[in-house]
Amino acid sequence: MENTTPPPDSAEPTVPLPLTLDDIYTHKIFDTARLQQPHWMQDSLRFSYIDRAPESETYTLWMYHVATGARTVILPEAALHLAPEDRMEPSPPKGEDEKKAEPEAPEQARKRSTLSIPGYQWSPDEKRILIANLPQRRASQGDLALFVVDVEAQTVRRVTPERHEYRNAKWSPDSQSLGYVRGDDLYRLDLATGIETRLTATARAQVYNGRLGWVYEEEVELADGWDWSPDGRQIAYFQQDETQVPQVDLPNYDALHMTPRATRYPKAGDPNPLVRIGVLDVPASGEIAPVPETRWIDLGADPDIYIYRMQWTPDSSQLLLQRVPRLQNRLDLLRADPHTGATTVVLTEEDAAWVETPGEVTFIEETDQFLWLSDRSGWRHLYLYDLTGKLHQAVTTGEWDVERLAAIDSAHRLVFFTAGRPSALERQVFQASLDGKEITQISTGRGCHAPLFAPGAAHYLDTYSNRSTPPETTLHRTNGDTVATILANPMPKLQGRRFGEWNFTTFQTSDGVTLNAALLYPTDFDSTRQYPVVMYTYGGPGSQVLLDSYGSGGGLEQWLAQQGYLPAMVDGRGSGMRGRDFKKITYLKLGDYEVKDQIEGAKWLGSLPFVDAARIGIWGWSYGGYMTSLCILRGADVFRAAVAVAPVTHWTLYDSIYTERYMRRPLDNPDGYATTSPLTLTDNLKGKFLLVHGTADDNVHFQNAARLAAALQKGNKPFQTMFYPGKHHGIEGVSLHVFTLITTFLKENL
């Protein structure tokens, strides 16, 4: 952690090469290269990835060989050229307002004749590759065809003759079949015979088998709703029923009659999707079979629940389910008999606030022992359990949080994980013995590390960066020794440019809480000047804006620094990696402590001799837009200007799972909902306020901005606004316009 002392004044100030918004958002000079979809092979001596074919703009599959460092093409570019019968048909026009089909342009025809690789999956026997997305979100189109690569023959074949949306496609354990969701039912495709077998026949409007609706995808991070048993004999799947979930119609201004896009979206307190877990026996391959019978798992008497995770035990004998009540203050790990549907509770996590899923549990090979993540001690740590529910021991302890489990070396009873240690600003890689007696850091270099371990943890890929170092991916032995650099980021577009430096620091609030903060000092910093400040915030539960990682490169902040502003950030109470109590203090009153701490941060910044306390602004997006709206209203005497992009403006307008996790239902916490809404505070507005939103936002609906605008207008409060027709939560495709708008507003008002 660096101190609060600013860098020395530049002895001979030099003018850095001017940075423009066009550089950042059109030419994307801060964008970094990434190793695309690396996948370790079973021998732990090779990994595959996606990259351009030699001397081509076409992407194909490559293999890296650990022993030699050689890189070989798995699929030559020529093999990606599809035979006429395997090409995708042109998309037909749809809807009353769509243009009639026009002659196909040569570039479109070329794209249809060349296979693109949005994602890939190796067959378990590693002889073939499925080209498909996984998982897929309902908001985007599924795969319109599935392709299989024969690695030895170096051929590509379209295996689904009809044009449909295929979702959540995956290999069977014996590598002979594919399973997928089509028309919201499950199917199995035998690759040898081409016979497609229907496995469920209960889908109907708003009832889905093997996939999940928007709110589960967004808030439970589940889109893939089915799985083969490891022996391939059974399939377990989610059935989700959204018929009682209210429909939200998102306006479509491009359509002549504004035909809306309908979506099922439960807001806080609304009826939720109902879920069931079914199990079926997979029919024998190679023959036409009737739809098999589904056996339903007993999930208990309360239908108003969530299933956070579903997975098979390694021996296929049992199904594990994570059941959570609507209030999300308890998590039961259930063990289900797939033949009878009977369930027993293995273990229970409870919290006075909310519980979080540990993700899928990971087993120690050839045992019934597994690792479990919990913050029950006040810090998020790993625990070793078995399927009887017996706790063997805590694997990690201490006043720091484990971020995620990365790998297990079952042979040596070692576990690998990332953690916010030695600082919440970092993510380092650690090795621990399963007996909990020894923990060793194996990563080096200050900043954030994201490892991908080979099977058995023989090697790992580490993608590493810090605020001043673009991400690079390196190959390591298990002890942390570097074997090779796999992908560097020389950033040629940034060569010859000088940028300001981020300084991480801390300060104390008026009630004695230490908070992390960061300031970006320009290259020509002059301590005798007084600089205006632009703060950036997000603030959602468990989030962090302060990480010692490269992120998107901080181009906007560097532009602001060149324009004479001090960019700054503060992680207040409610942010992550500082223990359970620090994060969950916001329970039932989102926007309270988080906003107080941004105001405290602004006051602390204003106390610095080189800051102009009368010229402090703040901006944020999504939850950050919500925070920004509250900051300009509650901190009316502190903030001179604020920009809120896509903000929640009242928690009754946001989805049920997220909102109720932290606020309970509106009927349980009416005062909490009322007092944390910007809609109730608009009379306080004094500073300059810019409100920005996309009209097709399916996450935070445009309704939020519309209601805030109406409340401000009713109170005769002047403000500025910009709406983006047809744009979603990320206001995609018009970044230059968005940030020109934001920066022009800040320059005019700070």
**The pLDDT value given to residue 3:** 53
| Assigned domain for 329 exists | no
The domain of 573 spans: 499-749
Give the pLDDT band of residue 86 (cuts 50, 70, 90).
confident
For the record, the structure tokens of 26 come out as 């059109």
Give the pLDDT band of residue 138 (cuts 50, 70, 90).
low
| Assigned domain for 26 exists | no
The predicted-structure confidence for 519-566, as pLDDT tens digits, reads as follows 999 999 999 999 999 999 999 999 999 999 998 888 999 999 999 999
Give the pLDDT band of residue 306 (cuts 50, 70, 90).
very high
Mark out the alpha helices in 106-212 (DSSP H runs): 106-113
Query: Which of 219, 231, 172 minimizes the C-alpha distance to 199?
Result: 172
Place of tokens 């981020």: 502
CB atoms within 10 A of CB 225: 27
| Assigned domain for 395 exists | no
When pLDDT is averaged across residues 440-469 and rounded to a whole number, the result is: 96
Q: Are strands 166-171 and 155-158 parallel, antiparallel or unpaired?
A: unpaired
**The pLDDT value given to residue 134:** 77
Phi/psi for 660 (5° steps) reads: -70, -25
Chain centroid to Cα 305, Å, comes to 23
Tell me the pTM.
Answer: 0.95
Give the pLDDT band of residue 285 (cuts 50, 70, 90).
confident
410 has catalytic annotation:
no
When pLDDT is averaged across residues 689-703 and rounded to a whole number, the result is: 98
- Of the candidates 48, 285, 575, 622, the residue annotated as catalytic is 622
E strands, 292-445, in order:
294-296, 305-312, 319-325, 330-336, 343-350, 362-363, 369-374, 381-386, 391-394, 402-409, 414-419, 428-433, 439-441
Predicted confidence (pLDDT) at residue 80 exceeds the cutoff of 80: yes
The predicted-structure confidence for 409-444, as pLDDT tens digits, reads as follows 999 999 999 999 999 999 999 999 999 889 999 999
Q: What percent of the chain has pLDDT over 70?
A: 94
Beta-carbon-side half-sphere exposure of residue 25 (alpha carbons within 13 Å): 17
| Assigned domain for 608 exists | yes
When pLDDT is averaged across residues 19-25 and rounded to a whole number, the result is: 97
Predicted confidence (pLDDT) at residue 96 exceeds the cutoff of 80: no
Distance CA 579, CA 686 (A): 36
When pLDDT is averaged across residues 399-405 and rounded to a whole number, the result is: 98
Comparing 399-403, 434-438, 648-652, the range with the smallest average pLDDT is: 434-438
Give the pLDDT band of residue 110 (cuts 50, 70, 90).
low
Number of domains comprising the chain: 1
Cis previous bond, 7, omega within 30:
no
CB atoms within 10 A of CB 470: 18
Q: Residues 526, 566: contact at Cβ < 8 Å?
A: no
Predicted confidence (pLDDT) at residue 104 exceeds the cutoff of 70: no
Comparing 166-170, 548-552, 610-614, the range with the smallest average pLDDT is: 548-552
**The pLDDT value given to residue 666:** 98
The b/e string for 550-578 (b: 16+ C-beta within 10 A; e otherwise) is beebbbbbbbbbbbebbbbbbbbbbbbbb
**The pLDDT value given to residue 1:** 42
For the record, the structure tokens of 41 come out as 């092979």
Comparing 88-97, 333-342, 456-465, 696-705, the range with the smallest average pLDDT is: 88-97
**CA distances from residue 7 to 3, 4, 386, 500, 601 in whole angstroms, order as listed:** 10, 9, 54, 10, 20
91 has catalytic annotation:
no
| Assigned domain for 557 exists | yes
Chain centroid to Cα 441, Å, comes to 26
Predicted confidence (pLDDT) at residue 148 exceeds the cutoff of 60: yes
Q: Residues 724, 695: contact at Cβ < 8 Å?
A: yes
Task: Collapse the DSSP code of 744 into the 3-class scheme (helix H, G, I; strand E, B; otherwise coil) and give the result.
Answer: helix
When pLDDT is averaged across residues 253-282 and rounded to a whole number, the result is: 96
| Assigned domain for 13 exists | no
* DSSP for 491-506, written as a single string: -GGGTT----EEEEEE
Task: Collapse the DSSP code of 580 into the 3-class scheme (helix H, G, I; strand E, B; otherwise coil) and give the result.
Answer: helix
Edge-to-edge strand ranges of the sheet holding 381-386? 362-363, 369-374, 381-386, 391-394
The predicted-structure confidence for 346-387, as pLDDT tens digits, reads as follows 999 999 999 999 999 999 998 999 999 999 999 999 999 999
Q: Are strands 482-487 and 501-508 parallel, antiparallel or unpaired?
A: unpaired
- Of the candidates 23, 401, 597, 697, the residue annotated as catalytic is 697
Cis previous bond, 422, omega within 30:
yes
Comparing 86-95, 108-117, 141-150, the range with the smallest average pLDDT is: 86-95
Distance CA 436, CA 419 (A): 15
Give the pLDDT band of residue 256 (cuts 50, 70, 90).
very high
Predicted confidence (pLDDT) at residue 254 exceeds the cutoff of 90: yes
Predicted confidence (pLDDT) at residue 272 exceeds the cutoff of 70: yes
Predicted confidence (pLDDT) at residue 136 exceeds the cutoff of 80: no
Predicted confidence (pLDDT) at residue 485 exceeds the cutoff of 90: yes
When pLDDT is averaged across residues 637-647 and rounded to a whole number, the result is: 98
Distance CA 317, CA 368 (A): 11
| Assigned domain for 91 exists | no
When pLDDT is averaged across residues 329-348 and rounded to a whole number, the result is: 98
Distance CA 423, CA 441 (A): 13
- What DSSP state is assigned to residue 345? E
- Of the candidates 381, 701, 728, 729, the residue annotated as catalytic is 729
Predicted confidence (pLDDT) at residue 13 exceeds the cutoff of 70: no
Instruction: State the CATH number of the domain containing residue 721.
Output: 3.40.50.1820
Give the pLDDT band of residue 632 (cuts 50, 70, 90).
very high
Predicted confidence (pLDDT) at residue 458 exceeds the cutoff of 70: yes
Predicted confidence (pLDDT) at residue 322 exceeds the cutoff of 70: yes
**The pLDDT value given to residue 12:** 47
Predicted confidence (pLDDT) at residue 88 exceeds the cutoff of 90: no
| Assigned domain for 714 exists | yes
737 has catalytic annotation:
no
Distance CA 531, CA 541 (A): 31
For the chain, give the mean pLDDT: 94
